[in-house]
Amino acid sequence: MSAGTAARRVPSRAARRTTGRAAAAAILSASLLLTGCTPLLSILGGGGSPAVELPERPTGGIEGFAAQQPAWSSCGDGMQCADVYAPLDWSDPDGEPITLRLVKHPATGDDRLGTLFVNPGGPGASGAEYVAESIDYAVPAEVQRAYDVIGWDPRGVGQSTQVRCFDAAGMDDFLFGIESGAQPQRGDDAWIDAALEESRVFGEACEEGTGELIGHVSTADTVRDLDMLRAIVGDEQLHYLGFSYGTYIGARYADAYPERVGRLVLDGAMDPTASLADVVREQTRGFELALRAYLADCLQRKDCPFTGSADDAMDRIGALLDRVDAKPLQGADGRMVGANTMLTAIITPLYSQGNWGYLDQLFTTAEQGDAEVALSLADFYYDRVGGEYASNSTEAFSAINCLDYPAGELDRDRMRAEAAELDRIAPTIGRFQGFGDVSCAGWPVSGVSERLPVKAAGAAPILVVGTTGDPATPYRWAEALADQLESGVLVTYRGEGHTAYGESACVRDVVDAYLLKGVVTAQDPLCS
C-alpha cells in the first residue's frame, strides 16, 4: 500500500475509442484528499526504511500496549526512529499485534512542553516521512524548541504494518492501463460492470496481500492507536497538528477522548458528517474553482500558455481532456495519458498556489502532444519514483476510505444523477468525476464507520483552520467542524490552496501562540 501482476495493455493507434481503467477513475473521483501540505516534488525519493528495534512484546491487555518503552535509535539529521506494537484488533488486544513506525524530532530547547503529534493527511500519507523529510516546513523553529515532534505512519500505511495489493507492474496497469478497441461510454451499464469487476479484483488482491489487517485500518482504529501513543510518550493530554484527512483523525479523537484534549490544531478541515457523495461534489466544485483562479492569475502574465478570457481557457482545457480521452498521449516509457491521468496531473498543482507554475508546463507540453510533464505530476500524486511505488499510499487510501464510508446498495440511477450534477456544477472536469461509489462496491470488507457529527463535550479549545479557496477541503467544511465542536475556534485564511499553516504568516502566528502559550484567539482573525 503483492499480489497478482496484470500485463500492460497499450492501445492501438487505430483504436476507435480508448478509456482509462474504470475502477481507477472511480477511486480518483471518490476522493482527492491525498495530502497537499508539502511543496510539490519536495519529497520525491523518499527517506528509506531504517532498521529499528522493537520493544518487548506487550502483555497484560490494553494497559500493556500503553506501557511500552520505544527503543529510539538515531536515523539521521537529528531524528530518532522507533517501532511500537498495537493490537491488530482493538477488541482483542491479546491477539496478534501489528507495528507502527514513529519518527521523532526531539525538542531543541530546555523548556519542553510535551510531544506534538503530526499527521499530514491522506488517508495513506506517511507521517513518519513527513517529519523526517520536512520538519522545517511542518513546524517552525519555535515549536521545535518546545515540543518533541512525532510523525507516525498510521496502521496500514508506509513502514507500519501495511496494506499491500499489487506490485509495481500491477499498479501501473491499474492506474494507467488503457484498453484498446471500442469501449463503453462512461456511466453505461457495461462501463459500470467493468468498473465493478476491476474494483473486485483490486479488493481481492488487497485482501490476499494484507490479510486480516484489511478489516482494521479505519480511522476509528487509528484513533485508538493515537491515544496509545499519547500514553506511551507519557503525556496526560494529546497535543496534535493535523492537516486535511489528519483533521478527521483529530476530530474523532477529540470526540472519543474530550478529557484528553490538549492543544489540537486542525488545518484544512474535513466535515465529519460529509458522505462520499458530498466529498466528491464539494471537491469537484473546489478544483473547478481553483482551476479558474489559476487561469485568472495566468492570463495576467505574458508567459501564460492561454489567451482570451478565463471561459475560453476553461473550454480549451475541457477540449484537451476530451481529446486525450479519445486518443491518449503516449509517454517515453510506453504509459498512456488518458483523461483520468491528465485530470490527476491538473489537480496535483492546484493544492498550492506556489505550484501553479507546473500547470503552465503541463498545458504547454500537452498541447504539443508531449506526455512527460503529465506523467511526472501523476507520478508525484501516486508516489511513483523510477518505475516503483515509493509508498503504498494509493492502496492504503482505498483501504481506509472503504472502511470509513458506509457503502449502501449500489444505485445506478442515483449515480448517474449525481454524475449529471457534477457535470453541471463543474463543466470542465465534472464529467470525469462521477461514479465514485463503485470504488468500494467490490471491497472485501464492508464499511464500519458512520458519518456522525462530533461534539467533544468538555474538551479544551480546538483550533479549526479553513482556507476560503481550498479546493480539497472546502472552507464550509471548516465552518461545519468548528460549529460541531463544542470548543471549536475557527481561524480563517482568505486565500488559495490546501491548508494554511505553512502558507500564511498570520495563521502561523495564531497557531504558534496557541501551541506555545495556550493563547486562544478571541475572534476569528480573518487572515489574508
Q: Express each pLDDT in 107-161 by its tens digit.
A: 999 999 999 999 999 999 999 999 999 999 999 999 999 999 999 999 999 999 9
DSSP state of 162: B
**The three cell numbers locating residue 501:** 499553516
Phi and psi at 71, nearest 5°, equal: -90, 75
Helices 22-30 and 168-176: crossing angle in degrees, nearest 10, is 80
Phi and psi at residue 482, to the nearest 5°: -60, -35
pLDDT in tens, the chain (528 residues): 222 222 111 222 122 222 345 555 555 544 444 444 444 544 333 444 567 889 999 998 899 999 999 999 999 899 999 999 999 999 999 999 999 999 999 999 999 999 999 999 999 999 999 999 999 999 999 999 999 999 999 999 999 999 999 999 999 999 999 877 677 889 999 999 999 999 999 999 999 999 999 999 999 999 999 999 999 999 999 999 999 999 999 999 999 999 999 999 999 999 999 999 999 999 999 999 999 999 999 999 999 999 999 999 999 999 999 999 999 999 999 999 999 999 999 999 999 999 999 999 999 999 999 999 999 999 999 999 999 999 999 999 999 999 999 877 899 999 999 999 999 999 999 999 999 999 999 899 988 878 999 999 999 999 999 999 999 999 999 999 999 999 999 999 999 999 999 999 999 999 999 999 999 999 999 999
Q: What is the dihedral of CA 141, 143, 146, 149, to 10 degrees?
A: -100
C-alpha 270/C-alpha 266 separation (Å) is: 9
pLDDT score for 21: 52
Cβ neighbour number for residue 471 with a 10 Å cutoff: 25
**Cross-strand pairs, 265:** 241, 463
Residue of 144, 80, 150, 70 lying closest to 110 (CA atoms): 144
Number of domains in the chain: 1
Per the CB < 8 A criterion, the answer to whether 292 and 496 are in contact is: no
In 3-state terms, what secondary structure has residue 181?
coil
Distinct helix (H) and strand (E) counts, the chain: 18, 15
Contacts 24+ apart (CB under 8 A), 59-64: 61/93, 61/94, 62/87, 62/90, 62/93, 62/228, 64/93
Task: Report the CATH number that the domain containing residue 315 is assigned in CATH.
Answer: 3.40.50.1820
Residues 6+ apart with CB under 8 A from 63: none
The full 3-state SS of 294-306, as one line of letters, equals HHHHHCCCCCCCC
The parent domain of residue 449 ranges over 1-528
Residue with cell 507502527: 100
Segment (H or E) for 330: strand 329-330
Helices 168-176 and 372-382, axial angle in degrees (round to 10): 120
Residues 6+ apart with CB under 8 A from 91: none
Give the number of other CB atoms < 10 A from CB of residue 518: 12
